[in-house]
Amino acid sequence: MGENKSLNGGLWSRFAEFKRLSGKDKRRMVSDLIFNNAMFIIIAVAIVFIAVRVPEFLSLSSIVNIVSLTAARLPIALGVGGAIVLSGTDISAGRVVGLTACIAASLLQVTNYPKKMFPDLPTMPLIVVLLAVLAVGAVIGLINGFFVAKFKLHPFIVTLSTQLIVFGSVLMYLMIGNNNGQTLSGLDPSYTDFVRGTLFRIGGVAVPRYVLYSAILTVIMWFVWNKTTFGKNMFAVGSNEEAANVSGVNVFRTIVLVFVLAGVMYAITGFIEGGRIASCSANTGLNYEGDAIAACVIGGVSFVGGTGKIGGIVTGVFLLQLIFVGLNFLSVSANMLYIIKGLIILTACAIDMRKYLARK
Amino acid sequence: MKRFLCLLLAAALCLSFVACGKKNSKNNGEISVFYFTYSDAYISSVRTALDKALKNAGLKFNDYDANGNQSSQTEQIDVAISKGSQALVVNVVDTGSDDAALNIIDKARAANIPVIFFNRSVEESVVKSYDKCVFVGTDYEMAGHMQGQVIGDYLVKNFDTVDLNKDGKISYVMFKGQEGNMEAIARTRFAVEDADKILTEAGKPKLQFYDAANANKYLVDQDGLWSSAAANNYMGTILAKYSESNKNMVELVIANNDEMAMGAVSALQGAGYNKQGGKVIPVFGVDATPAAQTAIANGSMIGTIKQDAEGMAKVIASIVDNFRNDRKPFDGIEESTTVGGWRVNIPYSAYTKE
């Protein structure tokens, strides 16, 4: 988003500069402008196209819906973004969301629910459950980070392993107590209200609370990435591990912390998802990492490492949800969703790499 | 140190294999039970019940999870047969074509052991191609028919309350669990057809899909997981465009299973519907999971169709026992539920508040 602001501010002086350029330079500058803002252009075109066909697309309730869907998928993307900045990835993300959602749901079932997993458990305070879930996410992140940092294993391999381990744990967890592998449901109103209760109403449309939580997380993550030593170290390690090490960055600690932070983000996603869907099974969270990684890449967090913006991730998540909603409004077969998603990811990556190739 | 650790780990692994091997070497081998996925709620209740039934019968058994992948399942069957399995109980993954089931039958025939398919449909010609093969399922079309009937009856009784915009028609949404699954196809089709039949008989107009531009007349879980999240996302998106104030509110929700129904309920509650004492958009599912039963009790869901997991497990266990003792496969099984000596149909029942 910062990019855009400076673009507007210096528009006049840029325009004057532009006039002075030769024809060839002019063309290059225009094409650069288009390529550097390709995602915003795609978003704008998509919105206009859909809104012309189906005007309700821009109604208040539709906008709130898109924002809510974006908010639900944002924390996991913010988490995985850090791993990508390190030129790695994290494919355990979706399963961690599933595990934490199931744990949160199991601890927060209403006391008189007939098939309550822990029948004698009283109503737990939300904060205790939230902290427990965060701890679970952090531990899995710690394991991921430790193996990546200590043994120099590629994060893909490490997180592939933890993905499987976590899935096995979810299946075992769901068999505990009275639950018998069933979908976890019958959640305490304190939990569902906390997550999807009404934050405020605009024009009679209720905005769910988790939108606020996602917004807060975005601000925190922006601060962590841009204003803290840890954030600067993360980018340093991501762009050149050797150089970062030589200049005194504790590479080991940085990598571990990035993954722990990611784990915490997945746990928050899980906690929100549990209350939002209100029924958690072993399938919860499946493939969420795919969308999260795609969103990061679309938003310019490069697999080359060392670059990425929080604003980009938000844009990426927003674009994916926009397509989902838009295609539904247009009554387009959902099969097209995959193809369009694939094309957008491919385009985004190609544009991204074009910058690096030009530099070389 | 590292090498020592590696060695230790390897030794531990070997030991555990030996331990496993010992258990199965005697007593004619295990009963091998193959599930299409552990993540499915209904299959989990069958698994618990079947584990219990087999244990009570004093049989040695082993459960396998194909995790929704037919090639994993086929490999697991190879492993089980090479281990000396004495019977295969198979919840086949791929129901779209006969090849997967035929392939399994070929393997069983080569090892001369019986195959009991259950839950997920296998064609009659396939089952009959091997004399030691039977199928325990539900008449998969029944669930859809019964759901249609429950919906039809409910609508005839409550037509005016359900018809929110008073246009004399009920607009509905249908959530389909998976493409290419015979159960999903039948439920999607018959739930609407049968409800329409009852409505027509009562002199009411047929159901109308909420979105006239959607030729499929259903929304499907793209991951094929029959998941509540998919239904929740769809429902939330629908509610953004269709509402009472626009006079085009979706007035009826039909889902292929209870998980999807619950996902829709959650989205409806987010929009202020289906809460205690509030306006209710009727939601119907299939499976009668504990979650759905609770939802029906507190009024946030209207009806579901019960599949009898324990009944299915009991029948499978007695068929296994019959095969072991060289009796006819269906000895001692309620005759009205058997069909032509090749299949047993576990009956469905409607589950509503009354």
Q: Is A6 within the bounds of a domain?
A: no
Answer whether B239 sits within 8 Å of A282, measured CB to CB. Answer: no
Residue A231 has pLDDT above 80, yes or no: yes
Least confident of A175-189, A224-238, A264-278, B283-297: A175-189
Residues B129 and B146 in one domain: no
Higher pLDDT residue, B41 or B8?
B41
Among B41, B228, B237, beta carbon nearest to A277: B228
Q: Is the confidence at residue A68, as pLDDT, over 80? A: yes
**How many domains does chain A divide into?**
1
Do residues B68 and B148 share a domain? no
A208 lies in a domain? yes
Residues B315, B268 share a domain: no
| pLDDT above 70 as % of chain A | 96
Report if residue A18 sits inside a domain. no
Residue B5: the pLDDT is 61
Residue B10 lies in a domain: no
Say yes or no: A182 contacts chain B, CB-CB below 8 A: yes
Among A221-230, A295-304, B97-106, the range with the most confident prediction by mean pLDDT is A221-230
% of chain B beyond a pLDDT of 70:
92
Measured on CA atoms in the order A30, A36, A38, A40, is the torsion positive or negative? negative
Q: Write out pLDDT tens, residues A239-277.
A: 999 999 999 999 999 999 999 999 999 999 999 999 998
Q: Going edge to edge, which strands form the sheet with B338-339?
A: B61-65, B31-35, B87-90, B115-118, B133-137, B343-345, B338-339
Judgement on whether residues B186 and B88 belong to the same structural domain of the protein: no
Confidence of residue A204 (pLDDT cuts 50, 70, 90): confident
pLDDT tens by residue, B224-256: 889 999 999 999 999 988 989 889 999 999 999
Task: Give B173 to chain A, closest Cα distance, Å.
Answer: 13
Residue type, B268: L
Domain that holds residue B116: 21-137+309-347
Query: From the CB of residue A177, how many other CB atoms can be counted at a distance below 10 Å?
Result: 15
pLDDT above 60: residue B318: yes
The verdict on B186 and B130 lying in the same domain is no
The answer as to whether B294 is a domain residue is: yes
Residue A300: partners with Cβ closer than 8 Å, 6 or more residues away? A39, A307, A308, A309, A312, A316, A348, A352
The residue segments making up the domain with residue A314 are: 24-359
Q: Are residues B152 and B290 in the same domain?
A: yes
In a domain, B8, yes or no: no
When comparing pLDDT for B91 and A351, which is higher? B91
Q: Which residues of B are less than 8 Å from A286 in CB distance?
A: 223, 225, 227
User: Are residues B226 and B263 both part of a single domain?
Assistant: yes
Residue B302 has a pLDDT of: 96
Choice among A125-129, B14-18, B26-30 with the minimum mean pLDDT: B14-18
Structural domain includes residue B230? yes
In a domain, A1, yes or no: no
Compute the nearest-CA separation of A112 from chain B (Å). Answer: 10
Give the model's pLDDT for residue B184.
93
Q: What is the pLDDT of residue A71?
A: 96
Residue B13 lies in a domain: no
Is there a domain that residue B172 lies in? yes
Q: Are residues B151 and B295 in the same domain?
A: yes
Q: Where are the alpha helices (DSSP H) in chain A?
A: 2-9, 11-20, 23-36, 38-53, 60-85, 93-107, 126-151, 155-174, 189-196, 210-227, 229-239, 241-246, 251-277, 288-298, 310-329, 335-359
Residues B165-220 pLDDT 10s: 999 999 999 999 998 888 899 999 999 999 999 999 999 999 999 999 898 999 99
For residue A256, being part of any structural domain is answered with yes
Question: Are B228 and B93 members of one domain?
Answer: no
In this structure, the answer to whether residues B97 and B154 fall within a common structural domain is no
Whether residues B302 and B314 share a domain: the answer is no
- Compute the mean pLDDT over every residue in chain B, rounded to the nearest whole number: 89
Q: What is the model's pLDDT at position A2?
A: 43
What is the spatial distance between Cα A140 and Cα B24, in angstroms, rounded to a whole number?
36
Per-residue confidence (pLDDT) for residue B26, from 0 to 100: 37
Domain presence at residue B282: yes
**In this predicted complex, what is the ipTM?**
0.71
| Band (A357; pLDDT cuts 50, 70, 90) | confident
| CB contact at 8 A, B173 and B260 | no
Q: Which residues pair with A149 in a beta bridge?
A: none
Domain membership of residue A3 (yes or no) is no
Which A positions 285-304 lie with beta carbon below 8 A of chain B? Answer: 286-287
Instruction: Report d(CA A140, CA B245) in Å as an integer.
Output: 47
Query: Residue A210: pLDDT band by 50, 70, 90 thresholds?
Result: very high
Task: Give percent above pLDDT 90 in chain B.
Answer: 61
Per-residue confidence (pLDDT) for residue A115, from 0 to 100: 79
Q: Find the CATH number of the domain harbouring A180.
A: 1.10.3470
Number of domains in chain B: 2
User: Any idea which residue has 């095969």 for tokens?
Assistant: B323
Q: Model confidence at B45, in pLDDT bands (50, 70, 90)? A: confident
Residue A314 contacts residue A4 (beta carbons within 8 Å): no
| Distance of alpha carbon A104 from alpha carbon A124, whole angstroms | 10
- Measured in angstroms, the CA of A157 and the nearest CA of chain B are apart by 19
User: Average pLDDT for residues A190-203, to the nearest whole number?
Assistant: 90
Q: What is the mean pLDDT of residues A129-141?
A: 97
Burial grade of B222 (CB within 10 A; 0-12, 13-18, 19 or more): middle
Residues of A whose CB is below 8 A from B300: none
Q: Which of A43-52, A135-144, A223-232, A326-335 has the lowest mean pLDDT?
A: A326-335
- Does some domain include residue A337? yes
User: With a CB-CB cutoff of 8 Å, which residues 190-229 of chain A face chain B?
Assistant: 192, 196, 204, 206, 208
CA A16 vs CA A13, A20, A21, A27: distances in Å: 5, 7, 9, 15
The whole-number average pLDDT for the span A336-342 is 86
Residues B318, B194 share a domain: no
Question: B227 to chain A: nearest residue by CA?
Answer: A283
Provide the shortest C-alpha distance from residue B130 to chain A (in Å): 33
Q: Is residue A10 part of a domain?
A: no
Q: A191 Cβ partners below 8 Å, 6+ apart?
A: A104, A108, A126, A129, A274, A275
CB A323 within 8 A of CB A340: yes
Q: CATH code at B40?
A: 3.40.50.2300
pTM for the whole structure: 0.79
CA atoms of B205 and A204, how far apart (whole Å): 32
In a domain, B5, yes or no: no
Per-residue pLDDT of A156-183, as tens digits, reads 999 999 999 999 999 999 988 888 788 8
Residues of A in contact with B38 (CB under 8 A): 171, 181, 282
CB atoms within 10 A of CB B131: 10
Residue A186: predicted pLDDT:
84
| First vs last C-alpha separation in chain B | 68
